[in-house]
Amino acid sequence: MNTIRYDFRSDTVTRPSAGMRAAMAEAEVGDDVFRDDPTVLQLEQRMAAMLGKDDAIYVPSGTQSNLLALMSHCGRGDEYIAGQDAHLYSHEAGGAAVLGSIQPQPIAHQADGTMALGDIEAAIKPDDHHYARTTVIALENTFGGRALPMAYMNAVAEIAQRRALGFHLDGARAFNACAALGTDIKSFTAAFDTVSICLSKGLGAPVGSVLVGRQDLIDKARRHRKMLGGSMRQSGILAAAGLYALDHNVARLADDHRRAKRLAEGLAAYPALKVVTPDTNIIFVDADKDIAERFDAAMAAAGVGILGTYGKQRWVTHIDIDDDAIDGALAAVVAFFEGK
Ligand SMILES: *Cc1c(COP(=O)(O)O)cnc(C)c1O
């Protein structure tokens, strides 16, 4: 039973709106394995055009999208460079190693979330039979809710180009990054060979991600998607939600960011809560150990859903969190600290 009234656990908890459900119900469909589904084709073409890339492929999840990208960039025994806490390395069940026979070369993050350029350079292996072949560098942006600056992405792009490596972006929340940085999605993704974008997070679709990129890589991804069991049939029903999201739910991401800032300010009023000011829609809160346990319990009792316990909390705003939900959550916080 769901006793959560205000669900801040993740932007993946969103439910399709009435308008999105109507678009799904009315979608024209065909068999996408035969490339016969006009709605899937439309979503793929639209995403490719938006990012200024050759092609795109619609997939069930962001995890599969990243895996397809790595498998398309790398051969068996190759290696990819990624951040130690990058989702595609640390949160995808080791899929690249298990299913792709691809080895990770993780790099420590600096305090600002970036990888040091010198560390990236130093991790690229020389062409020597002792080493795995370094094939691709993967960045993630937003990273932990932070919008990493364009200058950083461009600096890593320069390394990838100079060392003749592929360049992949895990842009699960790329549209959030664009809203925060005030840039457009085409400029934001211009330097990358492949880009993975989630439709099922802030964009509010129930299912789906899109891998966008260079033709030869998307062609390989199409074969790998089939191999991994990710090819779907009348998936236009799902892709219609993605198209609806692109029409209706991109510009409004700024509202999520505004609400996250207001929530963060309300939380930061209490010194026991160490609040990281959010760039986008994700707030991290470190609570003093002596209150953390009671605070978590009080939020749960008040129907405020947050992720993480005992001091390390994550609050995420999204399309189903309106101004009233922020007020409701802050009222529960005030009640906890001030007993009213
Ligand atoms: C959510 C997420 C993914 C994976 O998406 P799923 O659809 O949950 O598999 C990949 N990368 C990042 C940064 C994410 O936040």
Region 138-144 average pLDDT: 97
Best CA proximity match to 214, nearest among 52, 41, 45: 52
Q: What residue owns the CA closest to ligand 1's atom 4?
A: 62
d(CA 2, CA 274) in angstroms, rounded, equals: 29
pLDDT band at 339 (very low <50, low <70, confident <90, very high): confident
User: In this predicted model, what pLDDT tens digit does every residue of 39-78 receive, in sequence order?
Assistant: 999 999 999 999 999 999 999 999 999 999 999 999 999 9
Give buried/exposed letters for 167-199 (b at 16+ CB in 10 A, else e).
bbbbbbbbbbbbbbbeeebeebbbbbbbbbbbb
Residues of the chain with CATH 3.90.1150.10: 253-338
d(CA 224, ligand 1 centre) in Å? 19
| Nearest ligand 1 atom to alpha carbon 86 | 13
H or E segment and range at residue 118: helix 117-123
| Nearest ligand 1 atom to alpha carbon 60 | 7
Q: Is 172 in the pocket of ligand 1 (CB under 6 A)?
A: yes
Q: What is the architecture, at CATH level 2, of domain 253-338?
A: Alpha-Beta Complex (3.90)
Fill in the amino acid letter for 61. Answer: S
pLDDT band at 2 (very low <50, low <70, confident <90, very high): low
CATH number of 18-250: 3.40.640.10
User: In this predicted model, what pLDDT tens digit does every residue of 235-259 receive, in sequence order?
Assistant: 999 999 999 999 999 999 999 999 9
d(CA 282, CA 261) in angstroms, rounded, equals: 9
pTM of the predicted model as reported, rounded to 2 decimal places: 0.97
Q: Is 61 in the pocket of ligand 1 (CB under 6 A)?
A: yes
Residues of the chain with CATH 3.40.640.10: 18-250
